[in-house]
């Protein structure tokens, strides 16, 4: 596309066919050599933007630009990042003094395509802490490479975020889990990783983290314990579990044979997100807290007589029903974190 929205053909003609060069060509003499070679009439800025959209990984500088855009635009430097799962967008609605950025208006940001993911970035205050929340995440099945799905986590990091709160809607495989329960994630099985996919694939930029990051203890134990205490205080401890999440590529829900295999591997809840975000967050040394809202029970028996087919409408409806409890859990935990000194200080070294 040219800046005027017209498509340049391979011989340099515009698709209107009348001229060899677009009328505004003189304004575009400043092209990169690469752009000239393919007779493309994009300005250097447009050319760069198209390249970024096509690339799997975002250069550090581009992520820095996005972070600067958010910090300058909001006038805030968030300490906690929240990713809202399907139907859990209300986690961002409780943020006060909010500055809202639509994904389409953030330079070089992908757009949300899934129902229940509004596509907004909300920066503001929650329980006294400065937070930024993604009302809409990116999934592999939307067609985005994993690095792009979790690129916003790096944006969070460069905005100043220390803690990532990742939430999701998930199917319960553990037979003890009921619809509406909350599972605090203490580990994951990365099925996309088993298949050779990682958000860290490609050249490693050491400004984010090491080439070979360790993932044991990815889920902060102190935060899990605090969340359990909060669950007790809220009177929902019998609906709370600590378990293992697995992410599959989706968008299909799992077959019974797949669910049986996951259960054998020790998986308690299954979804199509979160793991790549956690990997990206741990790579750049963020502290991670994550939970799954169990929106459906996964049948792992062929002769199960219940009508157990998962569907997104049910997922959204359950999330809506349980949003109050999820919001309260997140708010209370953030209040506790806010009461702690920022990491890096002497006192913080002994805490989470
Ligand atoms: O993981 P989140 O984004 O909460 O969404 C979950 O819900 C959708 C399926 O209903 C899938 O996208 C699955 O991953």
Tell whether 172 and 69 lie within a shared domain.
yes
Tell whether 294 and 150 lie within a shared domain.
yes
Q: Is the CB of 292 under 6 A from ligand 1?
A: no
Residue 292 pairs in a beta bridge with 168, 183
Residue range 178-202, pLDDT digits in tens: 999 999 999 999 999 999 999 999 9
- The CATH number of the domain where 227 resides is what? 3.40.50.1580
**Whose CA is closest to 202, among 339, 56, 351?**
56
> Which one is predicted more confidently, 222 or 115?
222
What pLDDT score does 121 carry?
A: 97
Range name among 31-35, 56-60, 227-231, 294-298 with the lowest pLDDT average: 31-35
Tell whether 114 and 9 lie within a shared domain.
no
Domain count, the chain: 2
Catalytic (active-site) positions: 86, 117, 139, 141-142, 169, 272-273, 296, 312
What pLDDT score does 185 carry?
A: 98
What pLDDT score does 40 carry?
A: 60
Closest ligand 1 atom, residue 272 Cα:
14
Q: Is the CB of 276 under 6 A from ligand 1?
A: no
Checking if the pLDDT of 27 tops 50, the result is: no
Q: Is the CB of 267 under 6 A from ligand 1?
A: no
Residue 125 pairs in a beta bridge with 96, 130
Domain with 299 in it: 58-350
Mean pLDDT, the chain, rounded, equals: 86
Tell whether 142 and 69 lie within a shared domain.
yes
pTM for this entry: 0.85
Task: Please give the average per-residue pLDDT across 55-75, as a whole number.
Answer: 93
What pLDDT score does 113 carry?
A: 87
Residue range 131-170, pLDDT digits in tens: 999 999 999 999 999 999 999 999 999 999 999 999 999 9
Tell whether 10 and 150 lie within a shared domain.
no
Q: How far is the CA of 313 from the centre of ligand 1 (A)?
A: 11
Task: Please give the average per-residue pLDDT across 212-240, as a whole number.
Answer: 97
Checking if the pLDDT of 246 tops 80, the result is: yes
Task: Please give the average per-residue pLDDT across 221-231, as a whole number.
Answer: 98
Q: Is the CB of 139 under 6 A from ligand 1?
A: yes
Q: How far apart are the first and last CA of the chain?
A: 50
What pLDDT score does 198 carry?
A: 96
Residue from 271, 276, 326 to probe ligand 1 pocket by mutation (most atoms less than 8 Å from CB): 271
Residue 60, C-beta contacts closer than 8 angstroms, at least 6 positions apart:
205, 207, 208
What pLDDT score does 37 carry?
A: 62
**Whose CA is closest to 167, among 68, 295, 311?**
295
Q: Is the CB of 273 under 6 A from ligand 1?
A: yes
Tell whether 42 and 142 lie within a shared domain.
no
Tell whether 22 and 153 lie within a shared domain.
no
Tell whether 75 and 193 lie within a shared domain.
yes
Q: Is the dihedral of CA 253, 133, 148, 119 positive or negative?
A: positive
What pLDDT score does 49 carry?
A: 64
Decide which of 14, 31, 54 is a domain's last residue.
54
């Amino acid at each position: 596309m040219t800046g005027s929205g017209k498509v340049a053909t391979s011989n340099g003609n515009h698709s209107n066919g009348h001229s060899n060069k677009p009328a505004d060509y003189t304004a575009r003499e400043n092209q990169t050599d690469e752009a000239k070679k393919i007779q493309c009439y994009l300005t250097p800025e447009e050319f760069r933007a198209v390249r970024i959209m096509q690339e799997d990984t975002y250069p550090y500088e581009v992520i820095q630009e996005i972070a600067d855009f958010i910090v300058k635009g909001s006038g805030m430097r968030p300490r906690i990042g929240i990713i809202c799962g399907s139907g859990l967008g209300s986690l961002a609605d409780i943020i006060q003094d909010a500055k809202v950025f639509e994904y389409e208006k953030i330079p070089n940001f992908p757009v949300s395509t899934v129902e229940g993911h509004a596509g907004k970035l909300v920066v503001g205050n929650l329980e006294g802490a400065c937070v930024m929340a993604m009302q809409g995440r990116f999934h592999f099945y939307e067609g985005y490479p994993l690095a792009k799905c979790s690129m916003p986590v790096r944006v969070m990091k460069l905005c100043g975020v220390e803690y990532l709160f990742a939430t999701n809607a998930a199917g319960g495989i553990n037979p003890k889990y009921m619809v509406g329960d909350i599972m605090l994630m203490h580990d994951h099985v990365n099925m996309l990783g088993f298949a050779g996919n990682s958000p860290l694939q490609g050249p490693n930029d050491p400004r984010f983290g090491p080439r070979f990051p360790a993932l044991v203890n990815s889920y902060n134990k102190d935060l899990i314990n605090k969340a359990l205490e909060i669950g007790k205080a809220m009177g929902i401890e019998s609906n709370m579990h600590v378990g293992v999440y697995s992410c599959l590529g989706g968008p299909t829900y799992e077959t019974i044979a797949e669910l049986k295999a996951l259960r054998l591997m020790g998986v308690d809840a299954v979804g199509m997100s979160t793991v790549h975000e956690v990997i990206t967050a741990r790579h750049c040394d963020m502290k991670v807290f994550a939970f799954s809202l169990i929106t459906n029970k996964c049948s792992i028996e062929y002769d199960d007589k219940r009508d157990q087919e998962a569907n997104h409408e049910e997922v959204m409806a359950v999330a809506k029903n349980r949003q109050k409890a999820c919001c309260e859990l997140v708010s209370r935990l953030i209040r506790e974190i806010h009461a702690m000194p920022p990491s890096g200080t002497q006192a913080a070294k002994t805490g989470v």
